[in-house]
Amino acid sequence: MVAYTSRVPAGFPGTISRSDSLTVKQEIIDSSNPPTAYGKPFKIVSGKMQALESGDAGTVVKGWTVRPYPAQSSTNTFGAATPPTSGVADGMRRGYMSVTLKLGTAAEDGQVYVVTTAGGTVVLGDIVTAASPAGGGTAVAITGCFFTGPADSNGIVEIAYAI
């Protein structure tokens, strides 16, 4: 049995962390540019959910990909499931979610940034704490999205979106 001496894990990427103040909507996935991971921001183009692309602005973000629960997979490790590439997926339009912080130190009410130009140790879609992450690349602020506190030891942090 694991003993938690200071803090339990913050969750898994894409997991809804609070059930109040929540809006989740089913979205049709655009199979030409599907989301690649849970807990990542997405945009809507021609009525379909798409992953962000290089050069997108923070204002195009319409929500966050939601990890389904319960879900089982024989091909992914625990907490590392990937979204489908077609069909329907859940998108959080408003609420609180656990996401992976790639670089930086999150603080309560700190602005959330998403990488839109890969470089160094960051790739498109990574969540960071600054427009110019120390690992390289560039990021944009996501309108209405803030950290609720620091990340846990695994880099998982809670965000508030459109609250």
Pairing of strands 88-103, 127-128: parallel
Give the CATH number of the domain where residue 144 resides: 2.40.300
Query: Is 3 within the bounds of a domain?
Result: no
Residue 69 confidence class, pLDDT cut points 50, 70, 90? confident
Query: Is 130 within the bounds of a domain?
Result: yes
pLDDT at 75 over 90: no
pLDDT at 11: 84
Query: Is 154 within the bounds of a domain?
Result: yes
Query: Is 7 within the bounds of a domain?
Result: no
- Cα–Cα distance, 101 to 106 (Å, whole number): 8
Query: Is 60 within the bounds of a domain?
Result: yes
pLDDT at 85: 94
Which domain range does residue 108 map to?
23-161
pLDDT at 22 over 70: yes
Taking Cα atoms as reference points, which of 110, 102, 108, 92 lies closest to residue 162? 92
- What's the rounded mean pLDDT across residues 37-45? 97
Residue 60 and residue 52 in contact, taking contact as beta carbons nearer than 8 Å: yes
pLDDT at 73: 58
pLDDT at 38 over 80: yes
Query: Is 119 within the bounds of a domain?
Result: yes
Q: How many domains does the chain have?
A: 1
Average pLDDT of the chain to the nearest whole number? 91
- What's the rounded mean pLDDT across residues 50-56? 96
pTM attached to this predicted model:
0.90
- What's the rounded mean pLDDT across residues 95-122? 96
Q: Coil, helix or strand for 60? A: helix
Query: Is 96 within the bounds of a domain?
Result: yes
